[in-house]
Amino acid sequence: MIIRKDDLESAVEHGVISAQAARDLSEFTIKRAATPRAVNEQFRLVNNFSEVFICIGLFIIYSAFSTITGVGLIGPQFTPVGAIGFWLLAEFFTSRTNKMLPALVAALMFCVLTVQSALFFADISANLMWKFEGQYVAYIWGGIAFTLALSFARFRIPILLALIAASTTIAALLFSGTSIKDASFLWPIGICGVAILALAFWFDSHDPLRRSRQNAYAFWLFIVGSPLAIHPVFASVWLNGDKTQPGIVIAIVFALAVFVSLTGLILDRRTLVASSLIYFTVGIGYSYYSVTSDVTSALATTSLLVGCFVVLLGVMWYRARTIVMAMLPFDGLKALVPPSN
């Protein structure tokens, strides 16, 4: 609701408020409008059910085309035709109708059919990609990231950045030659996570008030980058810590979780806090168990405490962030992050 000048004048004439109160209210609204305020983290994939309805049709088309090429009615060599068709549909949905969800589905189907076409002409089984080992599989995931990057470069759909980041991380992990059977794969994942978070922070720093699409780009990169960057650090502390002194290990884990949560408050990104919740739970649960020696009671009490903490922090997020930002000594950093509302 916007209070206009004639509304205030009318209120004064009818004795609703005094002339001084009207002047004070006018000055307050002008001052408040001039104060920069950041937009909250927005999570939107669909505008209305019309988009869902169209997506149902797209899935039916994709299923029918896959059946036709799979049973040999026209042969899998015609798969690129379907890929081109879904690309054109994505073009239509983005440029003519601005329907994001159908454009996303069409773009993803283009990527799937493009990868299927490449595997068919290279005579490589599609099941190979799910083995997560070997150079061939790394090239497949690299190809997936490339097709997703093509779609993003053309259609600028924010969630595609998350899929690009995830597939690129898988490809990098496979190219590194590390094995998921031991802890050697943690650091390549952590490096990828840090790189993704750095890119997300770059987008955030160029739009502190979160008024442009860069806010959505950063949001989806934080979704993927937060767990990739955080979990290897915590896992390494847990695996390499002194097992004879579990209390020290728990204290380090808890301190890291607090640090990550404070970083999330400063950056105004809840995904960082969400990624550290499991370690808050471990820290509190172990501390409670060491006192009571009751597993059931420790699990129930810890879950209750963490749940209350999440709800309280969600409700008091901006008040807590204002306190943290007031204690932040670096003014240069404050200019790169959203202002406290």
Distant-in-sequence, close-in-space partners of 270: CB < 8 Å, separation ≥ 6: 41, 264, 314, 317
pTM: 0.79
Taking the C-alpha atoms of residue 40 and residue 210, their distance in angstroms, rounded to an integer, is 8
- pLDDT band at 33; cut points 50, 70, 90: low
C-beta separation of 339 from 208 below 8 A: yes
Q: Is 263 exposed, middle or buried (0-12, 13-18, 19+ CB in 10 A)?
A: middle
Q: Please say if the pLDDT value at position 55 is more than 60.
A: yes
Distant-in-sequence, close-in-space partners of 298: CB < 8 Å, separation ≥ 6: 285, 286, 288, 289, 292
Does residue 11 belong to any structural domain of this protein? Answer: yes
C-beta separation of 148 from 167 below 8 A: yes
Taking the C-alpha atoms of residue 40 and residue 269, their distance in angstroms, rounded to an integer, is 9
Does residue 14 belong to any structural domain of this protein? Answer: yes
Q: Please say if the pLDDT value at position 26 is more than 90.
A: no
Q: Please say if the pLDDT value at position 102 is more than 90.
A: yes
Q: Please say if the pLDDT value at position 157 is more than 90.
A: yes
Q: Which of 9-18, 155-164, 267-276 has the lowest mean pLDDT?
A: 9-18
Does residue 307 belong to any structural domain of this protein? Answer: yes
Does residue 287 belong to any structural domain of this protein? Answer: yes
Nearest to 94 by CA among 128, 130, 131, 54: 54
The whole domain housing 11 covers: 1-35
Does residue 222 belong to any structural domain of this protein? Answer: no
C-beta separation of 144 from 164 below 8 A: no
Distant-in-sequence, close-in-space partners of 128: CB < 8 Å, separation ≥ 6: 134, 136, 137, 140
The CA–CA distances, whole Å, from 204 to 200, 219, 247, 270 equal 6, 9, 37, 14
DSSP reduced 3-state for 78: helix
Distant-in-sequence, close-in-space partners of 295: CB < 8 Å, separation ≥ 6: 289
Q: Tell me the per-residue pLDDT of 196-206, one tens digit each, with 9 for 90 and over.
A: 999 999 998 88
- The pLDDT score that the predictor gives to residue 220 is 93
Q: Tell me the per-residue pLDDT of 230-262, one tens digit each, with 9 for 90 and over.
A: 888 877 776 665 555 666 777 777 788 888 888
Question: Tokens 């004795």, residue?
Answer: 15
19: number of Cβ within 10 Å: 12
Maximum mean pLDDT: which of 128-137, 175-184, 259-268: 259-268
- The pLDDT score that the predictor gives to residue 45 is 79
Number of domains in the chain: 2
Does residue 49 belong to any structural domain of this protein? Answer: no
Does residue 207 belong to any structural domain of this protein? Answer: no
